[in-house]
Amino acid sequence: MRERYRIGKKTVFHSLPLRTPTPWGDWEMNLLPAGHIAGSAMLHLTRKTDGSTLLYTGDYKLSQGLSAERCELRCADVLIMETTFGRPHYCFPPRQTVIDQIRTFASQTLSQQKIPLLLGYSLGKAQEILAALSGLDVPVMAHESVIKMTQIIAPHMGPLPTLLPFDAAQATGHVLVFPPHVSRTTKLQSLPTRKAMVTGWALDARAKYQYRVDELIPLSDHADYPELLETVETVKPRRTYLVHGFVQEFGADLRARGWDARSLGREDQLELDIFTRR
């Protein structure tokens, strides 16, 4: 948290263990793995007076990633969930398929005497990319922000390739891992790179033109549409509130399936059953 948000040492953090009940006023609080990035957690609350429960997901995914704990859902009366990919066409390929795609992109680009440049956020996505490259036996250079975040998370991960700081003069023959916002720097522009954007938005038809890359790899730290449905079916809430992303579209889908679902911060369109008199 300090490194990612540049928070000074005067701020005190209190670490809470996962899956351990913690008293909080009239509530009992539990943190559950969210599967989003390393250390990410859902908040599960139980009211002491009547046993009512609430689950707040925050950002999460159900599929097992390479750099985070597997998500753990728990039943709740009220569910507050993020719906970043709340449309049916957001259905990601199996994780291994995407890992193979990352490795193939790197190997083929190097064989073409070009430099593979993989783009992903410095915290979360970059570690997934690096873990996918592990064992490929190719040297890897990374942006300083990727190196800093990876050094912090590495003790909680499996095998990772050796990371070298980016050096344009020595970049030939290396795989580069950079956050998207620095991919158009002068030093990178002067190199014979092939760019691949690693993102869940890769499933959008316009994404290749939007990101101006050679290849798109559909990998996300967020739940896709089938996982969003699975979440509701697993938690079995009496009411669901939706935040972030396609809240109105996904809310309508849930209501069509018989769930009480409402979006927060948006006005839902009222749905009525129309009966035609014969």
**DSSP state string for the chain:** -HHHHT--TTS------TT--EEETTEEEEEEE-SSSTT-EEEEEEETTT--EEEE--S--SS--SSSPPP-----SEEEEEETT-STT--PPPHHHHHHHHHHHHHHHHHTT-EEEEE--TTTHHHHHHHHHTTS---EEE-HHHHHHHHHHGGGSS--PPEEE--GGG-TT-EEEE-GGGTT-HHHHTS-EEEEEE-GGGGSTTHHHHHT-SEEE---SS--HHHHHHHHHHH--SEEEEEEESHHHHHHHHHHTT--EEESSSPPPP--------
- The answer to whether the CB of 45 falls within 8 A of the CB of 28 is yes
- What is the model's pTM? 0.92
Which of 188, 217, 246 marks a domain boundary?
Answer: 217
Distance CA 214, CA 83 (A): 28
**Residue 30, Cβ density class (10 Å: 0-12 exposed, 13-18 middle, ≥19 buried):** buried
What are the tokens at 140?
């890897």
Q: Do residue 154 and residue 192 come from a single domain?
A: yes
Q: Tell me the CATH number at 160.
A: 3.40.50.10890
Q: Do residue 112 and residue 208 come from a single domain? A: yes
Whether 4 has a pLDDT exceeding 90, the answer reads: no
Choice among 1-10, 79-88, 132-141 with the minimum mean pLDDT: 1-10
Same domain as 206, residue 105 = yes
In a domain, 277, yes or no: no
Do 160 and 251 fall within a single domain?
Answer: no
pLDDT at residue 267 in the model: 66
Domain annotation covers residue 273? no
Joined together, the tokens standing for residue 247 give 């809240």
- 1 pLDDT band (50/70/90 cuts)? confident
Same domain membership, residue 100 and residue 51: no
| Mean pLDDT, range 238-247, rounded to an integer | 96
Final residue of a structural domain among 217, 251, 272 = 217
Q: Is 275 within the bounds of a domain? A: no
Q: Quick one: 257 and 193 in the same domain?
A: no
Percent of the chain with pLDDT over 90: 83
C-alpha separations of 238 from 141, 211, 232 in Å: 49, 40, 10
Query: Per the structure block, which two tokens stand in for 75?
Result: 């039943």
Q: Which of 163, 189, 217 is the last residue of a domain?
A: 217
The two structure tokens encoding residue 265 = 């911060």
Give the pLDDT confidence score for residue 271 in this predicted structure.
55
123 and 206 in a single domain? The answer is yes
Q: Which of 82, 28, 92 is nearest to 60 (CA)?
A: 82
Average the pLDDT over each of 68-72, 158-162, 205-209, 269-273 and give the range with the smallest value. Answer: 269-273
Give how far Cα 264 sits from Cα of 107, 184, 228, 248, Å: 45, 37, 16, 9
Amino acid residing at 53:
T
- Note whether residue 278 is domain-resident: no
* Residue 25: inside a domain: yes
pLDDT at 146 over 60: yes
What is the residue range of 119's domain?
Answer: 95-217
The pLDDT assigned to 117 comes to 98
In this structure, the answer to whether residues 196 and 232 fall within a common structural domain is no
CATH of residue 234's domain is 3.60.15.10
Give the count of domains, the chain: 2
